[in-house]
Structure 1
Amino acid sequence: MAAVDGKSVLVLGGSRGIGAAIVRRFTGDGARVTFTYAGSRDAALALAAETGATVEHTDSADRDAVIARVRDSGPLDVLVVNAGFAIFGDALEQDPDAIDRLFRVNIHAPYHASVEAARKMPDGGRIIVIGSVNGDRMPVPGMASYALSKSALQGLARGLARDFGPRGITINVVQPGPIDTDANPADGPMKELMHSFMAIKRHGRADEVAGMVAWLAGPEAGFVTGAMHTIDGAFGA
């Protein structure tokens, strides 16, 4: 029997890519999974039909909507915050409103969701936030706002680990490198550049990231908290 069998799991941002792989992993392991989507309605409905998970529309840029979704999900055994996006381009030319939205999704939502989940989460619960290796290393120009947002998650995890530790609630950040998804396909135009930085010269798979998340949600990771877990083929080494 899987460690999460029968447990309540909420995945914020689960309709595509890494999020969808996490939904598949937890439903396959017997968890009761709810996941959210913002713009990919068809993909979300298809994933819900495939896995039996419950799907809810939630805009992760809306703080109150994020808090309400976590609150209305009841006591959670596991919260996974995967929703996020990147903006590329010259920092001098980017739209400030777009950058602020990125910060709301990539920083504010993980913080408020984690705090709200901890209000009802049973002792020994798990909070897992999907960050990026770019929180440690940014080898190309044009992604300063994204790198900033992913670095912020490191402080979030270290700080909330102190706050929630007395209850045995762990909080960890998973930091993927290049992963084969619609947003970063393995045969995309950046492939050769990204692989040139890597020891294992391929894109990772979304299910490999989901496997790390599943381990962090299990009993073997009960003493692991406030930590960054990089899965990147040594992109950032």
Structure 2
Amino acid sequence: MAEPRQKRTRDPVETREAILRAARTLLAKDGPEAISLSEVAHLAGVNRGTAYQHFKTRENLIEATADGVSEQMFRAVFGDPETIGERQVEDVDIADTTDRLVNFAMDNPELGRIWLLQLLSSPDPTADPFWREYEGSLERFASTDNSREGVDAEVLSVIMLASAFLWPVWARSHAHGEEERRALAHRFSQEFLRLSMYGSVQPDRYPQVAERLGRKVAKPAKLRAVGK
């Protein structure tokens, strides 16, 4: 007599990661509005009930997916979040950090898209760990003698990160093969650093702009959570 067939058991951690991978794929492709637990479950190869066991609502799933992307970016660019508090501003290698950011963006354009979409739609962007560390590191740098006077860390962070995640879209549209994409990533890092170090114009050729930037201005308003 044949033995009864044993029911296959799934690893809960592996199942959760499969669901999150599927959610990342759909978020990058269609954005959060198009996400449903049913569609994510289908792509992940699990039934809908299993998906609901891990994530009670689609909002829970989207939030968990975005948090995972933010943590992945954080580790790739800054290292272990547990030890980040031990780092001093003077210890930061600006060129190395720039290269890590640009290479991560080039290798993971879909993750960059997810992160940007979620940050833009968030009622409180400062709650995102990667944004908080990136903008915070520029804020700390701006308070040192190594910085030019009057740096607006928040605005500079938006400019830098938006361009870092837009460049891979351009590169993948125009590059032929991995070697050319690497070359484009290097070009971006170089220009990124040049702008940080020297700016784009000769100040004496634009005295009106130099005068404007030299004026004392009110401290810029920081991002605030909606309703606060």
Q: Looking at secondary structure, tell me which structure has more helix per residue.
A: 2
TM-based fold match above 0.5: no
Please, what TM-score do these two structures have when normalized by structure 2? 0.28
Q: Looking at secondary structure, tell me which structure has more strand per residue.
A: 1
Considering only CA atoms, is the larger Rg found in Structure 1 or Structure 2? 2
Please, what TM-score do these two structures have when normalized by structure 1? 0.27
